[in-house]
Amino acid sequence: MNKLMLIFPCIALQWMAAGAFADLDEGLAAFEARDFPRALDEFTEDAERGVALAQYNLGLMYYQALGTEQDYEKAMQLFALSAQQGVVKSQYYMGAMYDNGHGTAQNYAEAYRWYEMAAEQGDANAQYAAGTMNFYGQGKPENYPEALQWYEKAADQGHRDSQYNLGVMYANGFGTRPDVEAAHRWFLAAAQKGSADAQFNLGIMYQDGVGIAPNPAESFRWFLRAAERRIPEAQARVGIAYASGQGVERDYNQAKIWFSRAADNGDVPAQSFLGRLYLNGDGADEQDLVSAYMWYKIANSNGDHEAANVLATLRGYMEADDIATAEARAVQWFADRRQ
């Protein structure tokens, strides 16, 4: 599920507009001033008098250890009291507690019951959660069409991860007929909100012309945005673009930079591509056989079986000392990854 966010100042205003039974201004002011101990005291006083929103706020503080030690059981008790009084966000967090086994035994069926309760009242996070549980069959039988419906409700409210998941479902025909145009539309919406996975998928769609005309420059732009968010596959695609001059001016030095980032993040094709650049001497005055051997060795150890053929060829004309140096560098690379 999404990271829990302390959003109660906004909810407090809504609750008060509907007619609160107590003034929460002092607690909210203390929280906004980051005076968490005082906020805790203020919310505790109101919560003990049965004020639902104070119970919700206090539950979040116990959940996130703000002004107090983290205490999932107390948080759950407070969420339960508030949820029973109709606070939708508390209903959502009750679902999250059962979903993650925080303060109680994990119980997907009970999690779904609470998520659905909040989702039916329009909570976007709960709608996303209900969609996800329908998709994976958690707490109820797998149901792609229902997952699609909940994701659409959340996506229409701007929920980024729901927008991304809708893109996946339309691209693959989960719960609906495949619709690459709809997939593109939802990936674009999520990408514009910063979803690195959606940005990568847009790069693929523009590269291969899926649901839209091929556009190498646009493909590169989205791959680069995803690469900057440290998606290894995107970093490798940026390296390929620079090495081939597709969508961007050819630049072997930039290709090495991005292949290196992807390779260090575990992308095996990028490791082989780096070996090829060093073997060919691309972007340099001469070959670097030691570096080439090192990267092919790493790629081969990570499952690239074709790299074994290149290694055999290199062993045929490299000096024994150079091979030993390359082997040692490869060993050190793996050792550094384990630290």
The CATH number of whichever domain residue 39 belongs to comes to: 1.25.40.10
Identify whether 289 is part of a domain.
yes
Structural domain range at position 308: 271-339
Choosing from 106, 124, 150, the residue where a domain stops is 106
Identify whether 58 is part of a domain.
yes
pLDDT at residue 1 is higher than 70: no
**Backbone phi and psi for residue 333, each to the nearest 5 degrees, phi listed first:** -60, -45
Count of domains for the chain: 2
CB 82 within 8 A of CB 59: yes
Identify whether 223 is part of a domain.
no
CB 116 within 8 A of CB 136: no
| pLDDT over 90, % of the chain | 88
Mean pLDDT within 236-242: 98
Identify whether 162 is part of a domain.
no
Identify whether 112 is part of a domain.
no
CB 309 within 8 A of CB 272: no
Q: Which pLDDT belongs to residue 338?
A: 87
Q: Which pLDDT belongs to residue 24?
A: 80
Identify whether 218 is part of a domain.
no
pTM: 0.86
* One-letter-per-residue 3-state SS of the chain: CCCCCCCHHHHHHHHHHHHCCCCCHHHHHHHHCCCHHHHHHHHHHHHHCCCHHHHHHHHHHHHHCCCCCCCHHHHHHHHHHHHHCCCHHHHHHHHHHHHHCCCCCCCHHHHHHHHHHHHCCCCHHHHHHHHHHHHHCCCCCCCHHHHHHHHHHHHCCCCHHHHHHHHHHHHHCCCCCCCHHHHHHHHHHHHHCCCHHHHHHHHHHHHHCCCCCCCHHHHHHHHHHHHHCCCHHHHHHHHHHHHHCCCCCCCHHHHHHHHHHHHHCCCHHHHHHHHHHHHHCCCCCCCCHHHHHHHHHHHHHCCCCHHHHHHHHHHCCCCHHHHHHHHHHHHHHHHHHHC
Choosing from 82, 106, 130, the residue where a domain stops is 106
Q: How many CB atoms lie within 10 A of CB 252?
A: 17
Identify whether 203 is part of a domain.
no
Q: Which pLDDT belongs to residue 285?
A: 86
Identify whether 89 is part of a domain.
yes
| pLDDT over 70, % of the chain | 93
Average pLDDT of the chain, as a whole number: 92
From the number of C-beta atoms within 10 Å of its C-beta (0-12, 13-18, 19+), residue 143 rates as middle
Choosing from 106, 124, 158, the residue where a domain stops is 106
Q: Which pLDDT belongs to residue 23?
A: 55
Q: Which pLDDT belongs to residue 16?
A: 36
Per DSSP, the three-state class of 231 is coil
